[in-house]
Amino acid sequence: MRKNSTNGLMTLNFWRMCAANLLLFVSVYMLFPVLSFVMPERLGISFPQAGSMFLVFAAAMFAVGPFHAYLCDEYKRKNVLLYSTLAMLAATAGYAFADSYIKLLLLALVQGGCFGLATTAGITVAIDITTSARRSAGNMVYAWSARLGMLIGAGIGILLYDLYGFRTVVYLAIAVGVLSMYFTSRVYVAFRAPIGMKLCSLDRFLLPRAWVPALNMLLIAFVPGVLLPLLYVGDYIAFLTLGVLVLLTIPFTRMFVKLSHHCQRGTGNTTCYLAMETGLLAGLATACRLSDAYLLYHAAGVAALLALFFFVLLTYPYYKRKKVR
C-alpha cells in the first residue's frame, strides 16, 4: 500500500504540473524586481506611482478569486489554467510597450487577475491528478516548486537586465511562460461533470480558518518583497530572504493543510499562496515609496521581528487549537 501511494504522487502528470508551476513563477518574478526601477525611468513617473502597480496586481488577484470555483466547475480546469496564463503573458508583453501610467496600471490589473486565476487553477489541477492519500504531501511539493520559481526568476531577471536590457527580460519571461503552458498542455486531467457551483464562492480560494497563519505569512513575505529592489544596486540580501521563504514553504504549507477539513487542502494551499503574494507585493510597493536602502532594511527588520513574535504568540497556539489532521 505504501508503494502504491507513493506512486500516486510521483506520476509524470504531477511532475509536469510542478514544472509548469515553477516556470509560471519564474516568468512573473523575472519582472518584479526590474519593473520597480525601470518603469519610473521609461514613463517619467515617481517611484511611489510605480509601486502602486503592485497593489493593483494584488487587488486583481483577490478580485477574480471568488469566480475561480465557478470557472473550474463550468469549464475544463486545465483550459482555465492555459487561457489565464496566455492572457497573463499578453499583459507581460505589454510592459515593453507601455507609454503611460494608466496603461501600466491596466497591464498590472490584467496580469494580476490572470496570474491569480492561473495559480489557483494550477493548484486545483495538481490536486485532482494526485491520489487522495497523497494530497497533503502533493500540496507541499507543488508549493515548493512555486517558491523555487520565485527565487530563480528574480535572479535571472536582474542578471538579464544588467546584460541585455529590459526588453530581453520581457521576451524571455514570455518564452518561459509559453514553456509552462506546454508542460500544462501535456497533463491529462480526467473529465468531471459540473456540480453546479455558484458564480461567486470562496470555495477553492480562501480558507477562513487559516486567517492567522495567513497574516503571519504576509509578514514573512513582506521582508523579501521590500528588499527585492535592492538587487538593482547589487545588494543581494534579498536572495537570502527569498531563500528563507523557500525553506519555510514546507512547514507553513503543512500548517495550512492541517487546518483544512476534507477536500479543503487545495483551498488551504491557495490561501497560503495569496498571503505570500500579498506580502511580497506589499513589500515591493513599500520599497517604491521609501526609496532608501536604510529605510528598506529598517522596514524589513521590523517586519521580521513582528513575524517572529506573531508566530510564537498567535500563530502556533492557534494552529495547535484548530488543526484537524
pLDDT in tens, 206-256: 888 889 999 999 999 999 999 988 887 778 888 889 888 888 878 888 898
Q: Is residue 194 a part of any domain in this protein?
A: no
The rounded distance, in Å, linking the Cα atoms of 85 and 131 is 26
pLDDT band at 1 (very low <50, low <70, confident <90, very high): very low
Cβ contact 19:183 at 8 Å: yes
Q: Is residue 196 a part of any domain in this protein?
A: no
Unique residue bearing C-alpha cell 491557495: 270
pTM attached to this predicted model = 0.89
φ/ψ of 204, rounded to 5, equals: 65, 15
pLDDT band at 325 (very low <50, low <70, confident <90, very high): low
Nearest to 203 by CA among 264, 269, 282, 142: 264
- In this prediction, residue 77 carries a pLDDT of 86
Q: Is residue 165 a part of any domain in this protein?
A: yes
Q: Is residue 4 a part of any domain in this protein?
A: no
pLDDT tens profile 51-64:
999 999 999 999 98
**CB contact set of 127 (below 8 Å; sequence gap of 6+):** 135, 138, 139, 265, 266, 269
- In this prediction, residue 67 carries a pLDDT of 83
The rounded distance, in Å, linking the Cα atoms of 79 and 121 is 9
Kindly report the CATH number assigned to the domain that includes residue 47: 1.20.1250.20
CA distances to 36, 48, 177 from 44, in Å:
13, 12, 29
The rounded distance, in Å, linking the Cα atoms of 127 and 306 is 33
Q: Which amino acid, residue 266?
A: G
Q: Could you tell me where the beta strands, DSSP code E, fall in 216-324?
A: none
Opening angle at CA 127, ends 124 and 133, nearest 5: 155
The rounded distance, in Å, linking the Cα atoms of 105 and 26 is 21
pLDDT tens profile 176-210:
999 999 999 999 887 676 666 777 776 667 888 88
Please provide the DSSP assignment of 151-211 as one string. Answer: HHHHHHHHHHHHHH-HHHHHHHHHHHHHHHHHHHHT------------SS--TTT--GGGH
Q: Is residue 67 a part of any domain in this protein?
A: yes
Q: Is residue 316 a part of any domain in this protein?
A: yes
Q: Is residue 294 a part of any domain in this protein?
A: yes
Domain span holding position 81: 12-187+203-322
How many domains would you assign to the chain? 1
**CB contact set of 21 (below 8 Å; sequence gap of 6+):** 119, 122, 126, 142, 145, 146, 149, 180
Q: Is residue 1 a part of any domain in this protein?
A: no
Element (H, E) at 239: helix 237-247
Cβ contact 55:282 at 8 Å: yes
Average pLDDT, the chain: 87
The rounded distance, in Å, linking the Cα atoms of 3 and 61 is 38
Cβ contact 207:259 at 8 Å: yes
pLDDT tens profile 154-171:
889 999 998 999 999 999
